[in-house]
A and B are shown apart, each in its own frame.
Chain A
Amino acid sequence: EPEVTQTPSHQVTQMGQEVILRCVPISNHLYFYWYRQILGQKVEFLVSFYNNEISEKSEIFDDQFSVERPDGSNFTLKIRSTKLEDSAMYFCASSERTNQETQYFGPGTRLLVL
């Protein structure tokens, strides 16, 4: 069964460093999402992406964040200068078409900023 994959599974970085989290959505899906979950808190929406551009973003998704689909398969989230509070589990998800479609989640990348 097709699945969303994410790399790396864990990343430890120093405050102020740039990190790139990678996702490979399901191949025929058109909508891509990033969510994050700070330890012990609920999952929060960051950004959605469709047709090679951001379709919506939350207030969390400030200028330190960017997303890109550099080729036909990868979808990346870049954090330009990490802060301690960026430590969280980051989930990528994809869906086939509209907002009435099931979103399929990747296994997550656990980011720890020291």
Chain B
Amino acid sequence: KNEVEQSPQNLTAQEGEFITINCSYSVGISALHWLQQHPGGGIVSLFMLSSGKKKHGRLIATINIQEKHSSLHITASHPRDSAVYICAASRDTGRRALTFGSGTRLQVQP
């Protein structure tokens, strides 16, 4: 079983829709990261959170430590949000390496 699982694998939405991407993890973590990978391959860090909720513009990330679950929400989605969204975990063992999920490919259609 993968230590970090994401769903859905692929998501197509219409511009303006509210989008939710889910991430579940089976290991102890010190932090959960949400990353965006552009079509050209570059990776940008969106959020790092260890509890509660964070918001940046139209993006919101939440985490439930007890349920080992995190969500990334995009409000008022736009075609420029089309990318692969990746959840990754920093383990609580002191390891700095990130353990990555497989990513969710989001396509927002105009």
Contact = CB atoms under 8 A, between A and B. Distances in A.
Given A105-B43, A107-B41, 9 more contacts: A31-B96, A37-B41, A42-B86, A56-B95, A91-B43, A98-B96, A104-B45, A105-B42, A105-B45
Interface in B73-110: 86, 88, 90-91, 94-103
B33 A45 contact: no
Contacts of B98: 35, 43, 45, 103
Contacts of B86: 42-43
Contacts of B88: 43
B41 A108 contact: yes
Nearest to A107: B42
Contacts of B43: 43, 91, 105, 108
A91 B41 CA distance: 10
A45 B91 CA distance: 13
Question: Mostly helix, strand, loop or mixed at chain B's interface?
Answer: strand
B19 interface: no
Given A43-B86, A100-B31, A102-B48, A48 B96 contact: yes
A44 B103 CA distance: 12
Nearest to B44: A105
B50 interface: yes
Nearest first, the 4 closest Cβ-Cβ pairs linking A and B are A45-B97, A105-B43, A99-B96, A43-B100
B41 A110 contact: yes
B30 A100 contact: yes
A56 B13 CA distance: 40
Contacts of A107: 40-42
Contacts of B45: 102-105
Contacts of A87: none
A105 B33 CA distance: 13
